[in-house]
Amino acid sequence: MKLRGERQADFAYQAVYRYMINLINEVSLETPVKLPSLRQLSSRLKVSISTIQYAYSILEKEGRIYSVAKSGYFAWPVATNAPTTTDADLLERLYAATRRPAMVVLSGDEPALLGSLDGALLTLERQLIRRYPHHLQTRSQPSGVWELRAALAARYTSSPTRCWQADEVYIGADLRGVLEILIDALGLKGTVVVVESPCDYLVLRLLQGAGVRVIELPWHADGRFDLTTFEHLLRHEPVHLVLLSSGVSMPSGSVLSVQERLQVAHLLDRFGCWLLENDTFGELSFVPSPTALRHLVNPERLMVFSSLEKILGPEAPFGFVLSRQLSGELQRQFLLRAFRLSSIRQRAIARLYESGRFDQHLQTLRQRLREQAQAMGHRLDERLEGRVSYRMPGAGASFWLQSTAAVDMHQVFQRMVTQQVVIAPGELFSLSGLHQQHMRLSHAFSGHPNLDIALDTLAGALLQSKL
């Protein structure tokens, strides 16, 4: 069986992904089932091991499979007591639904599904392994290898006064680990943090779990930032830190105007607040964004975090943070975490930056995302006309939809799950019950030809769940 000729529009890993979905659905899932090894599948499907690994990484991220050291990959069983009732935590129900077989997962925002650099990374790694034999590789680099830290510092440098050095960049195994370190290093427990809303549920849950008092600042329906409320909060609340996006705020797709950015920077400086800038989607704007907030605020009270995964995919899950301050505490925290990061993989990514290959990939990925968003917009207009309202996304791989009629979104979610489709209710992106008439819907997914059927099902669920 040779996959590369089946659907020329797909990447090889997408065909592997579809094959694995079918394979998982065919086996008994009462107990965990061992899946074929990377080498076995590579031989069977006539594709590279890295392609198999990439597809497995996506399945693992979706919660369909899991890995065991020295044993391989296993398919999750479908638990008989899976939290699917309306009484269970909504996020737990979402995770449980994505693990069930034959589900169409439209709840995520994974731009890298539309573009892969796994082949280029594998080639570079082979070259680097010959150059850096195992016995010559540095054993302990708790904050990441110098080459990648230097490449990221150079990428974020914009002027002689807005520059970064390699030792001001810290790389972790994933975004969650980096955010946990930031929360500890900044001493946020018991403090007040203002976050834009909607906000990624990973960030919200981590702050909540750390004992942070989170004040959510919703964007206006027309995409404007609420400067009046923002100033009121800074004046009357003991705000320690503000979390805002550098470019496009996802999932809402809102963007600060140039004037709004200047006023936000002025207010942060006036009240002496830290800015934690979320640059996760900063490189994925479909059109050039205005000057990033980090170029306008006091660099001594600035931290920037991001992840390589949104652009390079699960093959590069690393999260990173840039900070001029707290160097001693950050170094201590990263040392304590003892992240086991592949030095060869980091050096390969640094080569992508240095060679210009990263920028070429980014340009192609943005174009594909923009085209996919336009196609999805046409589908939404056709299949959900009158049911939802939305603004075309300016970045990322998802739409932020609002029901035009008042509905029970929990019921919509549950109806969709029974039809084997997973959406992300807007309530997940708030800690205080905001966005209950919203949902996030991906436009960059692979492996399912019946998107129109899924959207028709969503239209029916919205109609049947009216309040």
* Largest distance between two CA atoms of the chain: 66
Residue scoring higher pLDDT (289 or 347): 347
Q: List the one residue out of 6, 2, 16, 20 whose CA is nearest residue 50.
A: 16
Give the Cα separation of 246 and 297 in Å (integer). 12
**Nearest 10 degrees: Cα torsion 304, 305, 309, 315:** 100
What's the pLDDT score for residue 211? 96
| Residue 275 reports pLDDT greater than 90 | yes
pTM of the model: 0.83
Short-list 396, 308, 368, 442, CA closest to 11: 368
Q: Which DSSP state fits 42?
A: H
**Higher pLDDT, residue 217 or 113:** 217
Mean pLDDT, residues 210-233 taken together: 95
Per-residue pLDDT at 138 exceeds 70: no
Assess whether pLDDT exceeds 90 at residue 126: no
Alpha carbons 116 and 364: distance in angstroms, whole number: 10
Please name the residues in contact with 257: beta carbons below 8 A apart, sequence gap of 6 or more: 224, 225, 290
Domains in the chain and their CATH numbers?
12-75 (1.10.10.10), 90-110+360-465 (3.90.1150.10), 117-355 (3.40.640.10)
Using a pLDDT cut of 70, give the percent of the chain over it.
89
Name the pLDDT band for 8 (thresholds 50, 70, 90).
Answer: very low
62 versus 303: the higher-pLDDT residue is 303
pLDDT of residue 4: 37
Q: What pLDDT digit, counting tens, does each position of 249-262 carry?
A: 999 999 999 999 99
* pLDDT for residue 155 is more than 60: yes
pLDDT > 80? residue 51:
no
pLDDT band at 393 (very low <50, low <70, confident <90, very high): very high
**pLDDT higher than threshold 50 for residue 157:** yes
- What mean pLDDT is reported for the chain? 87
Q: Give residue 6's pLDDT.
A: 36
Give 322-375 as a DSSP string: EESS-HHHHHHHHHHHT----HHHHHHHHHHHHHTHHHHHHHHHHHHHHHHHHH
Q: What is the pLDDT of residues 16-29, one digit of tens each?
A: 887 887 777 666 55
Quick one: average pLDDT of 406-435?
Answer: 95
